Structure 1
Amino acid sequence: MTDAEGTTADSTTQAARLNIDGVGLAYDDEGSGDGAALVFIHGWTANRHRWDHQMDHFKVGRRVIRLDLRGHGESDKPVQRYTIDGLAEDVRRLMDDRGVDRFIPVGHSMGGMIAQKLALAYPDRVERIVLVDSLGRMVYNRGRGLVMTVSKRLPYNLFVAANIMRAFKPGYPREQIRGYVAASQATPRHVVLSCFDAMRAFDVLDRASEIQAPVLLVHGYYDVQLPPREALRLAARCRDAVVKILDTGHEAPVEDPAAVTAAIEDFLARG
């Protein structure tokens, strides 16, 4: 069940905070286990509660960490230029602070871009990588380029709404979509636009073969934001990749959280 902000209604646990050069990051660190920690990284205009189902499931036998990226959720929202590299370094510093050496980044959309940066920058620390509705290079066909150009010229709230409403599979409950739209619109304008530009510039596709860790790509069949063919193109460049296509749109973690959890569980069980 979701509330008006698109988070689970029973998500009342007070987040811990880490100060990084004066910027406070909210995070949760739960569970325990001998294996590498799972680190859940949300996407553009979202927050750590995108991963409520996965946290509840995996904390039973593993250490699981999730955070609100700077500019999002309960974390501080400084006026600055936001970059994928910078957000990845925030995650790395959180791992250092929590004493986590080996970890498995699980990233949705923009979070998947961050996960790839971590895998490339810290191959000795990233054991596996899970990308949910993400890609290796932001690509715009003529139609998508037109949508992006037009939507960015809309008033701020309409710009956010236009992007979030397209993220869900046709037929997904409109009341719930409105909750996610409202939560995204609560993200400050300077954060939204700067992260949007950071995603537009993202491109590590030609370096995908450098990712040493096994990769799971979970993607919604009805994802029109980042089409499934882009996930397949990334998978073809990786050394060891598994692709799982779900009956969802771009917001797989909330459209079918159980399917996302099951895909991750199966991937972790691989030898």
Structure 2
Amino acid sequence: MPQLEVDGAPLTYDDEGPRDGGGTPLVFVHGWTANRRRWDHQVAHFAETRRVVRFDLRGHGESGGAGVRTVAELAQDLVALLDHLGIERCVLVGHSMGGMIAQTVALSHPGRVERMILVNSIARMTYSRGRGLLMAASTLVPFKLFVAANIQRAFAPGFPREEIRRYVESSADTSREVVMTLYGAMRAFDVLDRVGEIKAPTLMIHGYYDIQLPVRQMLRMAKAYPDATVRILDAGHELPVEKPAELTAAIDAFVG
């Protein structure tokens, strides 16, 4: 897989689909402890007709590096990748922490974002009591148990246990340093008072059963956006893998 080195970190990415005549490139950004494969269904669909880019965030998947402390630093990696690929303007699609990265880019480089799609994401992190207890327990329980508890609660009731186990194992491959540092970075993330500056039409797709980032938090964000469309789907926090076809269809309808 191709890689781009940014500040000493090799970032692994995929760049697929036709370069000309297929519309504005789609750029997919995954979330905390995940990797670019979360977008398999969407990439397979859209790469038939337009350019599609996805990458593993620093310290995730097949990308190297650590030491990143803020969501803004991850956003800088994304802008470096866009520059490397010669993509001046794109449709940004971000899931969870990836949506935080997308919003950061939309605020810092508004000319680069034609449209934006936020999947199970928010503009200000507000932890529920349950999530706060997990954070407090993070130093008291084995690391893999902490990760497993976070991932298991991300899925809606009834999602196959074997599938959940597979995602737990994948998430546990992310180093403790990266997991815990970016957990803190998400907790500190807050652009709610600035999202009124984002002029790009934005689609917000959220799972009704998301207890990681509850729907009410997304709706609070949507009210602050100048141009937001909201879709609620019958899923939890992991929409890209819980309802892949429905998510793809919603994105397709939005980008045209």
Q: State the TM-score, normalized to the length of structure 1.
A: 0.91
> Which of these residues, 163, 176, 179, is aligned with residue 150 of structure 2?
163
Q: Deviations over 1:47-91 (max 9, x none)?
A: 00000000000011111000000100000033x143100110101
What amino acid sits opposite 2:124 in the alignment? R
> Which of these residues, 95, 120, 124, is aligned with residue 137 of structure 1?
124
Partner residue, 2:95? 108
**CA-CA distance at 1:151 after TM superposition:** 4.2
CA contact (8 A) 2:30 2:94 kept: yes
**CA-CA distance at 1:200 after TM superposition:** 0.5
Q: Deviations over 1:166-217 (max 9, x none)?
A: 0000110001100000011111100000111100000000111000101100
Partner residue, 2:17? 31
Partner residue, 2:71? 84
Written as runs of structure 1 = structure 2, the 5 A alignment for 1:165-204 is 165-204=152-191
Partner residue, 2:5? 19
For 1:184 and 1:107, how far apart are their aligned partners in 2?
Answer: 18
Written as runs of structure 1 = structure 2, the 5 A alignment for 1:40-59 is 40-59=28-47
Which blocks of at least 5 consecutive residues in structure 1 are unaligned?
1-14
The percent identity for this pair of structures is 59
Partner residue, 1:95? 82
For 1:143 and 1:264, how far apart are their aligned partners in 2?
Answer: 31
User: Structure 1 residue runs of 4+, over 6 Å off?
Assistant: none
Partner residue, 1:8? none
What amino acid sits opposite 2:118 in the alignment? L
Q: Which deviates further from its counterpart, 137-146 or 190-199? A: 137-146
For 2:190 and 2:208, how far apart are their aligned partners in 1?
Answer: 22
CA contact (8 A) 2:134 2:146 kept: no
Partner residue, 2:217? 230
CA contact (8 A) 1:37 1:64 kept: yes
**CA-CA distance at 1:36 after TM superposition:** 1.7
Which blocks of at least 5 consecutive residues in structure 2 are unaligned?
none
Q: State the TM-score, normalized to the length of structure 2.
A: 0.96
CA contact (8 A) 1:220 1:246 kept: yes
For 1:267 and 1:248, how far apart are their aligned partners in 2?
Answer: 20
Q: Deviations over 1:13-60 (max 9, x none)?
A: xx2111112210000000124422100000000000000000000011
- Asked if 1:61 is matched to 2:49, the reply is yes
For 2:56 and 2:131, how far apart are their aligned partners in 1?
Answer: 28
- Count residues in correspondence: 254
What amino acid sits opposite 1:221 in the alignment? Y
For 2:219 and 2:141, how far apart are their aligned partners in 1?
Answer: 32
Q: Deviations over 1:96-142 (max 9, x none)?
A: 00010001110000000000001001111100010000001001244
Structure 1 vs Structure 2 CA RMSD: 1.1
